[in-house]
Amino acid sequence: MGKWNIYTKKGMIALLTAFLLISLQGPAPSYAAELNSEVPKVVEKTSPSVVAIIGKPSKDSNKTMEKNRFNLAHGTGVIVESNGVIVTNAHVVKDMKNIVVVTSNGTTYNGHATNMDEESDLALVKIDATGLSPATLASSSDIKVGETVAAIGTPISFALRNSVTVGIVSGLDRSVSSQYQLIQTDAAINPGNSGGALINMKGEVIGINTMKYAEIGVENLGFAIPIDTVKYVLKHFQLYGKVKRPYLGLELEESWEAVVGLPSSTGLRVAYVDPDSPAAGAGIQQDDVFVSIGTTNVKTLVDYNEAIKHYLPGDKVDIKIQSGSSAATKSVTLGEVQQRETKWTEDAEGSYLDADRGKTKIGDSHLGWSMKYPAGLVKGRQSDDGDSVNFIDAKGEFSLSITVDSKQSDELSPSALLSRLASDEEDEYSDQSSATILERQYVKREGQPFAKIVSRSGDKGYVQTRGYLYKGKLYKVQLFVTKEHYNNDFKQNSYNDLLDSFKLSFDTKDESLRDISVYSSGNTTYTNEYGLSFALPSNWQQGGYTGSSSFFNDDYSQAIHVRVTSASSGDTLTAWADRQTKQFEAQYAPKYRTMDEPVELTLAGVPAMKLGYSNTLGKKWNAGYSLFFIKDKYKYEIGVSYPKDDKGTELDELEKALTSSIKVDKDRMDQELGFIQDLDELADPDRVVPFKNEKYKYALQIPENWTSMKSYDNKDQANKTFVFTGGDLSISADSKTSFDNAIKDEDAAQKKSHTNDKEYVYSDSEVTLFQNVKAKKYDISYATAKIPYKETIYIFNQNQITYTVSLRIDEAVRTEVNEARLTKAFESFTFLK
């Protein structure tokens, strides 16, 4: 904590003493005086070229979370053309919409991003303006380590725009998290400085601030994009609208020395060569070592990127490589890196930075309430159906919540209503043992009476709760105020005014009233990382337990599951759907399944197939269909399931909404997606794995795709069950119960089951297992069970251990293949010594 001493009384005394000692030592060096006069001049010269950029984040969020007027992002930019062309960092505007640019003199302009290059972290923003002051750009070759520089930007808060920090150039040719070289500086660079100017003492821009290194114990470590890289990107933006990068088609690997920052005598090793690429065509192979590109030696990836940026796609370049013990020069005609197109969108709520501009009231049109909407009120979390919403004050002085209980009787007396509010408050503040009720009354306000309770919540603050009964609903409005603000009379008046503005009505014609209702009778569109999007009714929701690829209606009776895998070489839509059909038919016996004829259709602009089916394990039938299509090297399967009895208009509308809205946007795919193997293509249902129980001295071969049910991860437990769809193999080992007693117990259990239900049928017999092991066998059939099944139980003894093995299979899945697989697993049973 010593480094913070200057903020203590003792630290301030020490600081003042040190300052006086310095003063007594004589005047400051002349260069310091010169610097003090020089910095204001260059800042004054350059500041008109630096602008602040603010906008709204465009990342998708939960519909119940607020995109409010205070939810903003900001950064900095540098004017490079007098007609309103501004350069900034790509990361500043990548996820920003409704951009507003503020110049140094306070003039505000609407702006939009026109070009972006994430590799260099540079972008252009355009505003409709003329006569601006473009910055003077230096040359990277003139930058010297140790020279004085100043950073101009918008750190931390938009209110701090055009802040200036001063330092020196700490280093050149740095390569921290960048494809290109960076300038290191100790001039303070903080969040919001991104995109701002790093200037020399001539008032020239030598770099665009891009990042700082932030960690406890690390200070004054910032980085800027050198001005020559900025000029390179600006030129490409001007000529091509994007940065045209050469493509070789290989992956390069640095030496260990280069990775840790040591000088490296080794070039870049070729880790991979893409077939049919320019590099492959030139004969460059894996494990070759790059020595130079043109006349530039390359030993790091930054060396490589700095060298290759001097060429354009289509250029020929000589690449010197070391292949084993021999050197060679390869002439390569460069291809072009394909980049994702950047799409810019404006907020659906309009182009204003403040989405709530002109809104002075807020409410819920579906639940029928409204109130005043002060500028500092921020909407927080809202429940899925809108019956609960909370607000906070932007300054942190108070919070407000509104809940609506739609199942409350209008017949509650004032006394009962007050008791209900008090009970709710006790539940909410049950941990506040010192909570004290300060006021409790029923206010007979004309047209809108309410119950009111004011209480002090320990040392935290004060709570006022109001309850309104109206048309079968209980509206509860609760205000919490911090202790330091509650006793301020002026503040009290403003809080009561806000509460008094609450009304049990919503005027749909009032344009100043913002509607926060989440109720919708329409559809909601979902998009996943594979670029797939589709619309579902608004009452559907993403599954919380099975992942974001599952969706359910409000009572979970209907479901949609999405599966995306890569299309293997040579795979076709017909072959894929045929595999799924055979897999389904192999799983269920004919009596317990139906399969519709495949239907060809078009989804996402490509051929698709629909396979309808139904199946049951007993009395209740499930139905559904799967939609299959292949696009952009990926296979998309959307499975819809529901109770068979649900067929009707609702499901027809669901299918229509789903199939008409399915789209695949390649630009919205996660750029890090690779090959995703379809496990069904590799799965072998007959493949077995060994299982051993050393304690109870047995082993057997179990199908790999069966699931082992276990309470613990202990293979040597007495009871073990292996489960497959519609059946299981269960083994119980007992070293304390004799063979005869086990049979007596099982005989009694079987007789009791038959006595209780004559439809439960069994027979028993004596058999010999595993060549010479005496056993008792029970064959059980229960055709009228909710899920009809057959079961075979074997009881036998070996090595003074009594084994009870059950083979159970539901009639619905009792196919020849499944039954043979179950029998084979049991017959693999062997005893260990």
Is residue 798 in a domain? yes
Domain count, the chain: 5
**Residue 485 or residue 521, greater confidence:** 485
pLDDT the model gives residue 713: 45
Q: Which of 96-110, 342-356, 745-759 has the highest mean pLDDT?
A: 745-759
Residue 85 has pLDDT above 60, yes or no: yes
pLDDT the model gives residue 298: 82
pLDDT band at 711 (very low <50, low <70, confident <90, very high): very low
Residue 748 and residue 650 in one domain: no
Give residue-wise pLDDT tens across range 765-801: 999 999 899 999 999 999 888 889 999 999 999 999 9
Residue 534 and residue 604 in one domain: yes
**Residue 485 or residue 122, greater confidence:** 122
**Residue 390 or residue 340, greater confidence:** 390
Which residues are catalytically annotated? Answer: 91, 121, 194
Q: Which of 173-177, 234-238, 259-263, 272-276 has the highest mean pLDDT?
A: 234-238
**Residue 77 or residue 409, greater confidence:** 77
Give residue-wise pLDDT tens across range 724-743: 999 999 999 999 999 999 99
**What span, in angstroms and rounded, lies between the C-alpha atoms of 629 and 599?**
12
Strand 361-364 with 513-515, pairing: parallel
- Which one-letter amino acid corresponds to residue 430? S
Is residue 459 in a domain? yes
**Residue 401 or residue 491, greater confidence:** 401
Contact residues for 812 (Cβ-Cβ < 8 A; gap 6+): 588, 589, 591, 592, 593, 615, 616, 617, 618, 726, 787, 788
Residue 271 and residue 315 in one domain: yes
Give residue-wise pLDDT tens across range 528-560: 888 899 988 877 888 754 445 889 888 888 999
Give residue-wise pLDDT tens across range 422-439: 877 666 655 544 578 889
pLDDT the model gives residue 155: 65
Helix (H), strand (E), coil (C) string for 370-395: EEECCCCEEEEEECCCCCEEEEEECC
When mean pLDDT is compared across 124-128, 324-328, 407-411, 813-817, the lowest value belongs to 407-411
Mark which of 463, 480, 515 sits at the end of a domain: 515
pLDDT the model gives residue 352: 60
Is residue 356 in a domain? no
Residue 135 and residue 169 in one domain: yes
Is residue 177 in a domain? yes
267: domain range? Answer: 246-336
Residue 398 and residue 454 in one domain: yes
Is residue 348 in a domain? no
Tokens (6 digits) for 718: 């007495």
Average pLDDT over residues 251-269: 70
pLDDT band at 570 (very low <50, low <70, confident <90, very high): confident
pLDDT band at 14 (very low <50, low <70, confident <90, very high): very low
Residue 582 and residue 635 in one domain: yes
Is residue 354 in a domain? no
Tokens (6 digits) for 422: 């008090």
**Residue 392 or residue 762, greater confidence:** 762
Residue 97 and residue 235 in one domain: yes
Residue 712 has pLDDT above 60, yes or no: no
Residue 105 and residue 222 in one domain: yes
Average pLDDT over residues 180-208: 82
pLDDT the model gives residue 1: 31
- What is the per-residue DSSP string for 660-689? HH-EEEEEEE-TT------HHHH--TT-EE
Mark which of 515, 539, 559 sits at the end of a domain: 515
**What span, in angstroms and rounded, lies between the C-alpha atoms of 259 and 278?**
27
Query: Mean pLDDT over all residues of the chain?
Result: 82
Q: Residue 594 class from Cβ within 10 Å (0-12 exposed, 13-18 middle, 19+ buried)?
A: middle
**Residue 753 or residue 486, greater confidence:** 753
C-beta separation of 617 from 597 below 8 A: no
Residue 235 and residue 272 in one domain: no
Average pLDDT over residues 105-123: 87
Q: List the CATH number of the domain containing 258.
A: 2.30.42.10
**What span, in angstroms and rounded, lies between the C-alpha atoms of 10 and 12?**
5
When mean pLDDT is compared across 399-403, 515-519, 712-716, the lowest value belongs to 712-716
Tokens (6 digits) for 429: 């503040």
pLDDT band at 452 (very low <50, low <70, confident <90, very high): very high
pLDDT the model gives residue 61: 46
When mean pLDDT is compared across 230-239, 506-515, 662-671, the lowest value belongs to 662-671
Residue 341 has pLDDT above 90, yes or no: no
Is residue 232 in a domain? yes
Residue 19 has pLDDT above 60, yes or no: no
Nearest to 52 by CA among 190, 196, 188, 164: 196
C-beta separation of 609 from 599 below 8 A: yes
pLDDT the model gives residue 221: 67
Is residue 270 in a domain? yes
pLDDT band at 613 (very low <50, low <70, confident <90, very high): very high
Q: List the CATH number of the domain containing 761.
A: 3.40.1000.10
Residue 262 has pLDDT above 70, yes or no: no
Give residue-wise pLDDT tens across range 136-168: 898 877 888 888 888 887 765 566 666 788 888
Continuous segment of H or E residues that includes residue 420: helix 414-428
Give residue-wise pLDDT tens across range 201-258: 888 898 888 875 544 444 556 788 889 889 999 999 999 888 888 888 787 777 666 6
Instruction: Find the farthest-apart pair of alpha carbons in the chain and give their distance in angstroms, rounded.
Output: 113
Average pLDDT over residues 4-20: 34
Q: Calculate what percentage of the chain has a pLDDT beyond 90.
A: 34
Average pLDDT over residues 13-17: 34
pLDDT the model gives residue 158: 60
Mark which of 302, 336, 370 sits at the end of a domain: 336
Residue 655 has pLDDT above 80, yes or no: yes
Residue 406 has pLDDT above 70, yes or no: yes
Residue 617 and residue 470 in one domain: no
When mean pLDDT is compared across 332-341, 431-440, 601-610, the lowest value belongs to 431-440
**What span, in angstroms and rounded, lies between the C-alpha atoms of 430 and 755?**
55
pLDDT the model gives residue 548: 55
Nearest to 91 by CA among 195, 175, 237: 195
Residue 378 and residue 278 in one domain: no
Residue 643 and residue 564 in one domain: yes
